Each structure stands twice: as C-alpha cells, then as structure tokens.
Structure 1
Amino acid sequence: MGLLELFSVASMPVLKVLLVTALGSFLALDHVDILGDDARKHLNRVVYFVFNPALVGSNIARTITLESIALLWFMPLNILITFIIGSALGWLLVKVTRGSQHLKGLIIGSCAAGNLGHLPIIIISAVCREKGSPFGAPEVCYTYGMAYASLSMAIGAIYIWTYVYNIVRLSSIKIIQELDIDDSTSNDESTGETSKTFHGSCAELLLPSKVTLPGAKADGKAKVLILDKAKQFMRMFLRKTNLKALLAPSTTGAIVGFIIGIVPYVRKLLIGGTAPFHVVQGSASLLGNAAIPTVTLIVGGNLLKGFKGSGINLPLIVGIIAVRYLFLPMLGIFIVQGAVHFGLVHSDPLYQFVLLLQYALPPAMNLGTITQLFGAGESECSVILLWAYALASISLTVWSTFFMWLVT
C-alpha cells in the first residue's frame, strides 16, 4: 500500500474526531448551552464511573487470555518509557524557558502524559473499519485493536494518577508554602509561648510510655517503638497517596476483565455466543461503545476554556508541542523498532502500531482535572490543551501514516 493510500486511511479517524469535537464545542457555547459546565460535569461522571470501565473490561475480557499476556508484557514498559522520556524533556523545557514555579508540574505532566485512553480507541476503531486498512479483516482488527487500546487506557490511568498526579501535587505544595511563609512566621511569633506549653504537656503525657517497667526487656521497648513508627509511616503513606485515584473505575474494569479472560471457568460462563451469561458481556459492550462519542463531545466542550487565554508564554506552548509531536515520536521509533529487532515485541503489525502511537499522542485530558484539584495552572492547562489538540489533527495524521508504512 502506497503512502498516499495510507495517508487517506490515517486521516479519516482524525477527521471524525475533529467533527465530533467541533460538535461538542458548538453544544457548549453559551447561547446553545446544551453541553454547559454542569452538563459536562454530570456527563463526565457517567463516562468515568460507567462507560470507561465497561469499555475497558469488556474488551479485555473478550480478547485477553493467559497466552496473550505473554505477548503483551512490553506495553506497560513502553508506556513507562514514554512517561520517563517525556518527564526528562519537560524538565529540560522548564530549565530552558525558565517557566514559572507554579507551572513546573503542569509542564512536566504535559510532556510526560499522553492521551493513552480515548484517542487510541477512537483512532484504532476507525482505522480498522476504514476501507483499505492495512491491518487485515475489519472484525479481527477491531477485536484485537480494542483490546490493545483498552489495555493502554488502563495502564495509562495508573501512571497518570500515581506519577503525574504527585508531580503536580508537589509543585502546588511548594507554591502554597512560599505564599504562606510570611503568615506562618507571624503566627509562630504570636503563638510561641503556647507552643512551648503544648509541647511540654505532650512530653509529660508521653514520658510514662517510654519508661521501662521493672522486669521489662529493652528489646520489647524497641519493638513497640518500631511498631509505632511503622503505623505512623502507613498513615502518612495512605494520606499522601491517592489510592482512590489509583484504583480508578477504568483500572478496576481492567482487573475484572483480566480475571474473566484468564480464568477458563469464568470465561466459559460469560464470553461467547453460547455462554450461559453472555448477555452480561453484551450489555457491558453496549455501555462501553457509548464512551467514545461521549468523551469526544466532552473534549470539544472543555477546549472552549482555552479560547479565553491566560498568561502562559508562547515558548512554553511551542516547547510542549515540540516534545509531544516531534521528539517523543522520533525516539519512540528507535525504541519500538529496537524491541522488535531483539524479539521483545511480537510480529503483529497492529500491536506495533499501537506501541508507536503511544509516543505521538497529545497531552492527557486528565491534566485539566488534576490542575483543577490543586488550583495550579488550570487556565494555562486549558490553553495548552487547546493548541495541542488543534495541531493534533496534522501531527496524528502524519505520524499515523508513517507508522502504518513502517509496520506493514
């Protein structure tokens, strides 16, 4: 298949995304107000808690088996590599452009985290069903392509809510500490005596517990102190780690999908037209199919915020776009092709295409949610996403064309 035909196949999914995104932006306009802020928030909750886990779980359950897990082990590593390289390039971008401290986490997160969930699902779904697709029969391509994309979504969600979430959180904490340093200094001066009295009383209360009773052994006292420290560490870990976000519904859906797929007895009950409870799988697939158009509409509505502008510097936007659309895809080609050369990745062209595509995606839409949680660069994030997704139509078409030519 020639480059011109591949370009036509690659451009169709991107055009579909643009059309639905434009519709979402239109519905979110003030004078239309069908997809306003409140509507998007409620709809996003339905997608987050219902559509996404149904999509991920049903696709993984249908295609993942014990045998296929051995073939897909490289994908989690590949996604981790995209985050590591993106973070390093984002850190260099902060140093070169001397970006504001409150934007440091946003810049690094934008370079590290790509839209590993919905965009691959949209693109692969459209590519597989497009006439002249280089990946074989449409139904086979769609079945396995959705499994690869669903696995990408689940792994990406884990990395975003553990890695990027904490990068933005730490960056926002530093800003809050710098802003509050004067207030804390004055408060310390005014409450110095009270603090001394308080600590003195605490010392008196704690002292008896540290006194060794007659006949008690020193090692018993050490064990008690170690146990107390361990409890304090666990409380601090649970408080600082966003376990609720880590176990997001998409991740839970992936876990359920893996259990159904790899346990033969459960698989026979749910998967296949003759399975006794195949209606459960069919219902989950029906719900999951609603995720793709719904999320695309929400993205279109959210991008309207970027038109309002912010104080972000143009070099930062250009740098983030260069990292996501130039440096990462080029490095991804060497990494994936090297893995194929050394036999780390199996020979399925569709699987290799998904691995390459993970390096060429725009920043994750979840960045908007994360910055909103911490109030660190929310308006700047909207501008970054607006420009990144506006240029994604060109970048994704070009890189998808090249990746198809490379793997086929």
Structure 2
Amino acid sequence: MKDRDSNSPKSTKCMAEPKTVKKIRIIAVHTPISVILQPQTFASVFAVLIGVIPGLKSFVFGSGAPLGFLTDSLDIVAEAAVPSAMLVLGGMLTEGPNESNLGIRTTVGIIIARLLILPLIGMGVIYLADKWNFLIHGDELYRFVIFLQYTTPSAILLAAIANLRAYAASEASALLFWQHVFAIFSLAIYLIIYFKLLLVHA
C-alpha cells in the first residue's frame, strides 16, 4: 500500500521541487569549476582580504611596504585602463550593433531595466541611506555621483570580458551599443530629476 502511494502521480507532484530551484541546480551541475575559479574572482577575494586585515594592508600598501613595488606597477597599468576602455567602446560603437541571439524583447527589457528602472531603485536606496545617516551630510556632489552610478549604461568591460571568455560577445556588444544610444535620452531626463532633488535637498 505504501509503495503504491509513493509511486502515485499525486505524491510525485507534491514532492517535486520548484522550477526556480530546479533551474539553479541544473546551472550549478553544468557549470564547470574552471568558469567560477577565474583570475578575476581570486583577485577580488585577495583584495577583500588585504583590505580587511590591517597587517596584510601595511605589507602591500605604503611607501615602505615590502610589496610596494607591486602596487606601484599596478598603478601604472591602471592609469592606461580607462583610455584603453574608451578606445574599445569607440570601436564597438563605430561598428554598430552586432548580430545578437537575445531577441528584440529581451534586448528592450534589459535596456529598460538598466536605464529606466535601476535609477528609480537607486533613488530609493539613496533616500533610505540619507534617512539613516549613511551619507556625508551636506555634500550634494557626493550624492550626485552616487545618482550617476545608477544611471549610466553597463560597464564597458562587459564586452571585453565576453570577448576574453569567447562567450556571448556579440550579445554583449549589441547591448552596450543600444544602451549607449538610448542613454543619451535617459541621462538627460534623470539629470534634470537629480538636479531638482539636490536643489530641494540643499
């Protein structure tokens, strides 16, 4: 009797896992560990550890640090990162949108979420942070920079990482192209809103 109940369609349906959990499990099973353990991940983990532990921070940063030569070299390389990224962005924009498998609906949804919805969420986050005294009091330029963080298109390095990993490079390029095109209008609208909010707050 118990075996018959356990094999019934009703009992199987009751014990079925949610679709979201099933999708996450499938992605976790099919994602190789080499994709997760990337140099960027290790660099982020080491950066957090060095910043949290005072002994490691003084060992790496500072004029008399034993590994100060390494941070100086990284600073020199970092100075060329932004100009190089601008060159990559200019090359992508001149080529126009590449062929993408995302579809029009997905592309439009991502653009709306990034350029219209995320700034609204950012205004709510900044309002709560200001209400709970997490922000610097009286520094309107600081608030304006935080506002802009939620309003700009996706990072330029998105396409560079996609090209480096040879995964969805054309999709990332197309998304960046259309986001920068429509950001002209969304930035103009939100800049007006931000200035009005900051003037009222001041």
Whether these two folds match at TM > 0.5 is yes
Mapped contact 1:306–1:379 kept (Cα < 8 A): no
Matching residue of 2:181 = 390
User: Greater RCO between the two (CA within 8 Å, min separation 6)?
Assistant: 1
Matching residue of 1:329 = 119
The amino acid across from 2:50 in the alignment is: I
Matching residue of 2:83 = 293
Report the TM-score when normalising by structure 2.
0.59
The amino acid across from 1:347 in the alignment is: I
Pick from 362, 373, 376: which aligns with 2:167?
373
Pick from 136, 155, 158: which aligns with 1:347?
136
The amino acid across from 1:395 in the alignment is: S
| CA gap 1:300/1:340 in 2 versus in 1, 3 angstroms | same
- Counting only pairs closer than 5 Å after superposition, residues 118-137 of structure 1 correspond to structure 2 as none
Distance (Å, rounded) in 1 between the aligned partners of 2:43 and 2:76: 15
Mapped contact 2:97–2:178 kept (Cα < 8 A): no
- Counting only pairs closer than 5 Å after superposition, residues 135-154 of structure 1 correspond to structure 2 as none
Shift of 1:351: 6.3
The amino acid across from 1:253 in the alignment is: A
Distance (Å, rounded) in 2 between the aligned partners of 1:251 and 1:401: 38
Report the secondary structure of 1:373's partner residue.
Answer: coil
Pick from 70, 90, 93: which aligns with 1:280?
70
| 1:310-369 superposed Cα distances (whole Å, 9 cap, x missing partner) | 7954x76555433322222123202321233134x3437576555533432324553782
What percent of counterpart residues are identical?
28
Report the secondary structure of 2:64's partner residue.
Answer: coil
Distance (Å, rounded) in 1 between the aligned partners of 2:172 and 2:65: 47
Distance (Å, rounded) in 2 between the aligned partners of 1:270 and 1:379: 39
- Counting only pairs closer than 5 Å after superposition, residues 67-82 of structure 1 correspond to structure 2 as none
Distance (Å, rounded) in 2 between the aligned partners of 1:247 and 1:353: 36
Mapped contact 1:310–1:379 kept (Cα < 8 A): yes
1:253 aligns with 2:43: yes
Report the TM-score when normalising by structure 1.
0.33
Report the secondary structure of 2:136's partner residue.
Answer: coil
Mapped contact 2:154–2:179 kept (Cα < 8 A): yes
Shift of 1:241: 3.2
Distance (Å, rounded) in 1 between the aligned partners of 2:63 and 2:174: 47
Distance (Å, rounded) in 2 between the aligned partners of 1:295 and 1:325: 21
| CA gap 1:262/1:319 in 2 versus in 1, 3 angstroms | closer
| 1:224-248 superposed Cα distances (whole Å, 9 cap, x missing partner) | xxxxxxxxx9xx8864235434343
Matching residue of 2:4 = none
Distance (Å, rounded) in 1 between the aligned partners of 2:178 and 2:89: 13
| CA gap 1:281/1:385 in 2 versus in 1, 3 angstroms | closer
Shift of 1:284: 1.4
The amino acid across from 2:136 in the alignment is: S
Distance (Å, rounded) in 1 between the aligned partners of 2:41 and 2:188: 29
Aligned residues: 171
| CA gap 1:347/1:318 in 2 versus in 1, 3 angstroms | same
Report the secondary structure of 2:96's partner residue.
Answer: helix
Shift of 1:282: 0.9
| CA gap 1:383/1:352 in 2 versus in 1, 3 angstroms | same
Matching residue of 2:3 = none
Mapped contact 2:93–2:177 kept (Cα < 8 A): yes
Mapped contact 1:306–1:384 kept (Cα < 8 A): no
| 1:13-32 superposed Cα distances (whole Å, 9 cap, x missing partner) | xxxxxxxxxxxxxxxxxxxx
Please identify, of 280-289 and 397-406, the stretch whose mean Cα deviation from structure 2 is larger. 397-406
Distance (Å, rounded) in 1 between the aligned partners of 2:155 and 2:98: 20
Distance (Å, rounded) in 1 between the aligned partners of 2:150 and 2:113: 10
* Runs of 5+ consecutive residues of structure 2 not aligned to the other structure: 1-19
